[in-house]
Amino acid sequence: MMLQIKDLKVRYGNIEALHGLNFEIDRGEIVTLIGANGAGKTSTLLSLSRLAPPDAPTVFEGDILFDGESILKTEPHKLVEQKMMALVPEGRHIFGNLSVQENLDLATYAVKEDHQFVQETEDLVYNLFPRLKERQKQRSESLSGGEQQMLAVGRALMTGCKFIMLDEPSMGLAPVLMYEMFRALRELNKNGITILVVEQNAKVALDFATRGYVLDTGEIIASGSSDELRNNKDVQKAYLGG
Amino acid sequence: MSTTATIKTKKEMNLWPLALFIGGGIIIALGATGSINKYIQTVIMFIGINVILSASLNVVNGYMGEFSCGHGGFMLVGAYVSSILSVLLFTNSKWLGHPILPPSTAVFLFPVIIIIGGLVAAVAGLLVAIPSFKTRDDYLAIITIAANFIFVSLVNNLEFVGGSRGFMGMKGTVFAMEDVFKAPYMLFWTLTFCSLAVFLIKRLMRSTFGKGISAIRYDEISAEIMSVNTNHMKLVAFMFSSGLAGIAGGLFAHVMGFINPASFSIMKSTEALVMVYLGGMGSLSGSVLSAIIFTILLEAMRPLQILKWVLIPLMLILLMQFRPEGLMGNKELTDKFPRLKRFFTRSSM
């Protein structure tokens, strides 16, 4: 197992947001975490990325193991430096007043020495999202929502991490763009990138992922392969519209 | 492509240091021969000090995008530390007795005590930066204002440095230096430290480290998940900035010959803030330019006495109305006038 989450409990101030999550992700998988608003999806991702309290919840119980080692004490920038995991945050968080190219360059902060890797990954990103190539010199603020999302994914790739976590990649995207995004992600997965995707749009997420967990008010209420979840009566009722 | 770019910059010869050197040299020569009077010299020194202040505050408020408004406090730390050292080491004073070192050594050791003042101010900056990690925006502003008040009240209540009456005797060090060899020392050191500070800030912001600092301004969460160690960056940027403020304080103390806690109150911090926002956040040449303009403006309005504190805020309001990004925005002088860049950066081939 690449990533193991054991009995993870987190809180914001005094409010407990996750009440003991258990799940695991293996190399090369596409796993989805679905759930309604406030179920704790983003909290899970933020605690995995180890961001510090004002931005993320505090883990007070449980453990996060990456390749068998606890990363609870690892700082977020170290996670990226050691090429463990990259986060594509909700709302994209791209550097708005930098150009597309500059955004990608900034993501190579930790791997800068490795010119060959940077060049190869840059080519990969531009092949995957030809639109970004067209907009290379443009201020990233002026990109459309879909393009910004592509940039956020591209930026995560540039860090050299083989495990990418995406927070609501479909948010605010037109269906066409959304499918294009998932097609690109699937292609990345074929190249050996492990993906954890958090989604509110359960239908799309289950079509995309091979396995999933259903989150409700800070607990996992169902898990299994995408097909199993799709046929699960409770999940259907709650998230797939009966 | 990037490799060719780096090769190209290596072959370029930068004429900026040379221009600075010649300009500074002329001013110092004029000062030494007495061609410019003492008043003008003092104004030039204040410009130098204010340039250090605004450029260093720009590192935190401009490039890093945090809001620190306790710059006066760090200036106070630097001013008092270097003044006490200066009086203790080189002069005969009522409080601290005979000089520990022969006064003539001040010629060489003067920059050292100024730098020590800066280092202590940097440590003070560290003490303020640590609790500010968990806060952001308004909260950092509150912490730094509080720190400013703490430093001022602390010195107000320290009887052995004169408390609120102030501390003096630094002129003795300047005279001791002049006894060895007559020269406008303060003018020389102010201009030297000022150029050094600007040069250091420029190098820092151009480095990979500096890019990390800018990334914090654009988006702190993204910076962190792009492997920028934001805590470390904030710490270093804050220490660097307050250290330079301390150096400015030390120079200020020796130019004035007298300091009291009230000169480094929130008013001084506000002046530094005004200069940063007047010049434009994240523009080094903007900070330098605005420090020059602001200092000259203050001096020019001296005849208006108290009325200048009506006019200056009014001008600020107008500036914010018509040019909210400041004089330079986040651009540098060379971005606005590419010709200037071409003139100063010749290819040596």
Using only C-alpha atoms, chain A has a radius of gyration, in whole angstroms, of 17
Most confident by average pLDDT, A213-217, B50-54, B334-338: B50-54
CA–chain centroid gap for B187, Å, is 15
Is residue A77 less than 8 Å (CB to CB) from chain B? yes
Question: Out of B129-143, B197-211, B228-242, B296-310, which region has the weakest mean confidence (pLDDT)?
Answer: B129-143
pLDDT at B7: 40
Is B221 within 8 Å of A97 when comparing Cβ atoms?
no
Nearest to A51 among B136, B208, B224 (CB): B224
Q: Is B226 on the interface with A (CB under 8 A)?
A: yes
Q: How many CB atoms lie within 10 A of CB B232?
A: 13
As given in the structure block, the two tokens for residue B226 are 């792009």
More confident of the two residues B326 and B75: B75
Q: Are strands B12-14 and A163-167 parallel, antiparallel or unpaired?
A: unpaired
The closest of B124, B113, B125, B117 to B59, measured between CA atoms, is B125
Q: What is the ipTM of this complex?
A: 0.76
Structure tokens at B308: 């200048």
Contact B163, B91 (CB under 8 A): no
For chain A, the average pLDDT equals 87
User: What are the tokens at A47?
Assistant: 């605690």
Q: Is the pLDDT of residue B346 over 70?
A: no
How confident is the model at residue B48, as a pLDDT? 93
Counting residues of chain B whose pLDDT is more than 70, the rounded percentage is: 92
| Chain B residues with beta carbon closer than 8 angstroms to that of A87 | 225
Domain extent listing, chain B: 38-265
Give the integer Cα–Cα distance in Å for A36 and A215.
8
Q: How far is A37 from chain B (nearest CA, A)?
A: 22
Cβ separation B225–A76 shorter than 8 A: yes
pLDDT bucket at A241, cuts 50 / 70 / 90 = low
Q: pLDDT at residue B8 above 80?
A: no
Find the radius of gyration of the CA atoms of chain B: 21
Distance between CA atoms of A143 and A107, rounded to whole angstroms?
18
- Please check the confidence at residue A211 and state whether its pLDDT lies above 60: yes
- On whether the CB atoms of residues B274 and B316 are closer than 8 A, the answer is yes
Closest residue to A54, CB basis, from B2, B134, B222: B134
Residue of A nearest to B208 (CA): A109
The 10s digit of each residue's pLDDT in A41-96 is 888 988 888 888 777 888 888 889 988 888 888 888 888 888 888 889 888 888 88
Residue B229's closest chain A neighbor by CA? A77
Mean pLDDT, all residues of chain B: 84
3-state secondary structure of A26: coil
Q: How far apart are CA B23 and CA A51, in angstroms?
A: 49
Is any Cβ of chain A less than 8 angstroms from the Cβ of B3? Answer: yes
* Distance in Å, alpha carbon of A172 to nearest chain B alpha carbon: 20
The pLDDT of residue B222 is 86
Average pLDDT over residues A7-34: 89
Q: What is the DSSP track for B73-107? A: HHHHHHHHHHHHHHHHHH--BTTTBS-SS-GGGHH
Calpha distance B46→B58 (Å, rounded): 18
pLDDT at residue A238 is higher than 80: no
Residue B9 has pLDDT above 80, yes or no: no
How many whole angstroms separate alpha carbon A170 and alpha carbon A92?
11
User: Per-residue pLDDT averaged across B303-315, rounded?
Assistant: 82
Cα distances (Å, whole numbers) of residue B175 to B61, B103, B155, B222: 38, 9, 26, 54
Find the CB nearest B225 among A54, A86, A96: A86
CB of B207 within 8 Å of a chain A CB? The answer is: no
> Cβ A52–B135 below 8 Å, yes or no?
no
pLDDT at position A242 over 70: no
Query: Chain A contact for B7, CB < 8 A?
Result: no
For chain A, count helices (H), then strands (E): 10, 10
Q: What are the backbone angles phi and psi of residue A240, rounded to the nearest 5°?
A: -110, 10
Residue B126: per-residue pLDDT? 92
**What pLDDT is recorded for position B5?**
40
| Region for A106 from its dihedrals, namely left if φ exceeds 0, alpha if ψ lies in -120 to 50, beta otherwise | alpha
Q: What is the pTM of this model?
A: 0.81
| pLDDT value of residue B152 | 93
A109 and B208 within 8 Å at the Cβ level: the answer is yes
Beta strands A219-225; A211-216: pairing state:
antiparallel
Rounded distance, CA A222 to CA A238, Å? 12
Q: What is the C-alpha separation between B28 and A182, in angstroms, rounded?
A: 67
pLDDT at B28: 81
